[in-house]
């Protein structure tokens, strides 16, 4: 896989060493057990896979290369490059201006853009309407487009099944930048509707099966369907794609549920299912799958608590928190500063985004204390290292790092 030139301040010698070591031992990525860092009174278990993914590294490389090679020019981002506060703050500090917030609200009017301006398209991609605005202004976007190739894969797959007459069902958060972009591209080709979760999948299934009044669809899915959507006609033949950072298990469960609805509603067999339902499982992102599988593998290790590191707006990071919370006390933080001291941690609720100071977050039993750690796909390794160092500082008589790493040999 391509190696990217990411700024050194996002790198970590410690994390790079650990990842390289695990890669050497497990080239086929079949071992999802965590890496033990045994500091004596503190044992940290690092997930097998975590941190920057291909799409994020690609976006960061393009962004910082653009800044370096176009000094003196006005550089804009359509919205946040990725959902990481430190990275976005660094871009702003370097002079990059944001045209919209992550919900699509305008911060700087498009009318202020000039042909000679540089506009970076974020890793989430953008809508066809915005692409058209930039094209009409004569703004070159191709070399400044950081859209993740795995997001583009979803768009391409949507187009392929649209050409065969399948309505597109998008499993995603309706307000998320990536979902809005995918919706725009899919809806340009065929009828499209967004469903947020299994509850909405069940409701949609009721409409497919004729169990609900068809006119109710337009109120229940307001703002989530394409123009001209005909609920009686457009749900007869469907395919499911996803926002790439959703829980893979959730997308699969939704697809399986709707598949069963089609089988029963149209009296199909597995051999004839393709007449009504398109197989689209290949739209799941490899990094999302790997990180989630690594968390599941990590959770089989007995531990006192888990710490998940990443931006609070990050969908993929929130899902890692969701997985961990099912098994043990879990703390969602975006940096080492949220580890206030050995008694207090500032935790983010992944659903409400509310910040709460949790006291006595470290276990009270005799050491060793066992903490699981992972991070989202947009979290720099340097932040993970800083969190580890902060945690270690809370304990006396810690084994030196050299000894800890020698255990991995």
Residues tagged active-site: 178
Contact 187, 219 (CB under 8 A): no
Cα distance between residue 347 and residue 339, in whole Å: 9
Q: Judge whether 272 and 200 are in contact, CB under 8 Å.
A: no
Q: What is the Cβ-side half-sphere exposure of residue 140, based on CA atoms within 13 angstroms?
A: 5
Residue 159 to residue 144: CA distance in whole angstroms = 23
For residues 182 and 170, is the Cβ–Cβ distance under 8 A? yes
SS3 content of the chain, % helix, strand, coil (to 5): 40, 15, 40
Query: Whole-angstrom Cα distance, residue 370 to residue 76?
Result: 44
Spatial strand order of the sheet with 97-98 comes to 97-98, 75-77, 118-120
How crowded is residue 403: how many other Cβ atoms within 10 Å of its Cβ?
12
Contact residues for 79 (Cβ-Cβ < 8 A; gap 6+) = 98, 99, 100, 101, 102, 104, 122, 124, 177
Residues 324 and 330: beta-carbon distance below 8 Å: yes
- Please compute, for residue 237, the number of CA atoms within 13 A of its CA located in the half-sphere on the CB side: 13
Rounded to whole angstroms, how far apart are CA atoms 330 and 308? 7
């Amino acid at each position: 896989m391509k190696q990217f030139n990411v700024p050194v301040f996002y790198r970590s010698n410690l994390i790079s060493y650990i990842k390289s070591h695990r890669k050497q031992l497990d080239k086929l990525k079949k071992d999802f057990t965590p890496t033990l860092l045994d500091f004596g009174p503190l044992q940290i278990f690092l997930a097998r896979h975590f941190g920057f993914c291909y799409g994020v590294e690609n976006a960061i490389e393009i962004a910082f290369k653009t800044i370096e090679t176009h000094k003196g020019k006005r550089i804009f981002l359509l919205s946040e490059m990725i959902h990481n506060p430190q990275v976005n703050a660094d871009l702003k500090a370097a002079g990059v201006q944001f045209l919209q917030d992550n919900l699509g609200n305008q911060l700087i009017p498009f009318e202020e853009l000039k042909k000679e301006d540089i506009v970076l398209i974020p890793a989430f991609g953008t809508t066809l309407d915005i692409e058209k605005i930039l094209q009409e202004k004569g703004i070159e976007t191709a070399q400044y487009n950081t859209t993740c190739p795995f997001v583009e894969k979803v768009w391409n797959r949507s187009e392929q099944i649209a050409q065969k007459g399948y309505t597109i069902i998008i499993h995603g958060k309706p307000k998320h930048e990536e979902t809005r972009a995918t919706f725009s591209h899919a809806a340009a080709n065929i009828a499209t509707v967004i469903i947020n979760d299994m509850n909405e999948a069940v409701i949609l299934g009721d409409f497919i099966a004729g169990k609900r009044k068809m006119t109710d669809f337009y109120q229940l899915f307001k703002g989530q369907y394409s123009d001209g959507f005909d609920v009686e006609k457009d749900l007869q033949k469907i395919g499911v794609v996803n926002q790439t950072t959703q829980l893979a298990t959730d997308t699969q469960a939704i697809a399986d549920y709707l598949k069963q609805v089609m089988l029963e509603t149209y009296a199909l067999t597995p051999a004839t299912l393709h007449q009504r339902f398109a197989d689209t499982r290949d739209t799941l992102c490899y990094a999302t799958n790997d990180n989630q599988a690594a968390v599941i593998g990590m959770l089989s290790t007995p531990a006192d608590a888990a710490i998940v590191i990443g931006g609070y707006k990050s969908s993929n990071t929130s899902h890692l928190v969701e997985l961990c919370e099912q098994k043990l006390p879990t703390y969602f933080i975006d940096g080492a500063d949220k580890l206030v001291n050995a008694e207090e941690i500032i935790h983010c609720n992944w659903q409400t985004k509310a910040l709460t100071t949790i006291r006595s977050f470290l276990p009270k039993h005799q050491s060793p204390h066992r903490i699981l750690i992972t991070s989202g796909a947009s979290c720099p390794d340097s932040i993970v290292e800083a969190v580890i160092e902060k945690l270690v500082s809370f304990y006396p008589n810690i084994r030196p790092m050299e000894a800890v790493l020698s255990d991995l040999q």
